[in-house]
């Protein structure tokens, strides 16, 4: 199964919304990183899975 752009956007929105419940100001950065991968996948859909994970972790 190949991940599409929206597979990254849904957890990114979930993590960003979780920041409203958990006032730690840390989870928002993970959410923004995952949302960034969703945007990159929308522009370059052929990105390898290892590159996706690396981009999500480095953001």
Each residue of 16-52: pLDDT tens digit? 999 999 988 899 999 999 999 999 999 999 999 999 9
59: pLDDT confidence band, cut at 50, 70 and 90? Answer: low
pTM: 0.86
Q: How far is CA 37 from CA 9, 21, 24, 29, 52, in A?
A: 8, 23, 23, 13, 6
24 secondary structure, DSSP code: T
């Amino acid at each position: 199964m190949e991940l599409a752009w929206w597979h990254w956007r849904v957890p990114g929105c979930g993590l960003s919304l979780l920041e409203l419940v958990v006032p730690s100001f840390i989870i928002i950065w993970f959410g923004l990183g995952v949302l960034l991968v969703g945007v990159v996948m929308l522009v370059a859909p052929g990105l390898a899975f290892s590159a996706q994970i690396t981009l999500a972790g480095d953001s």
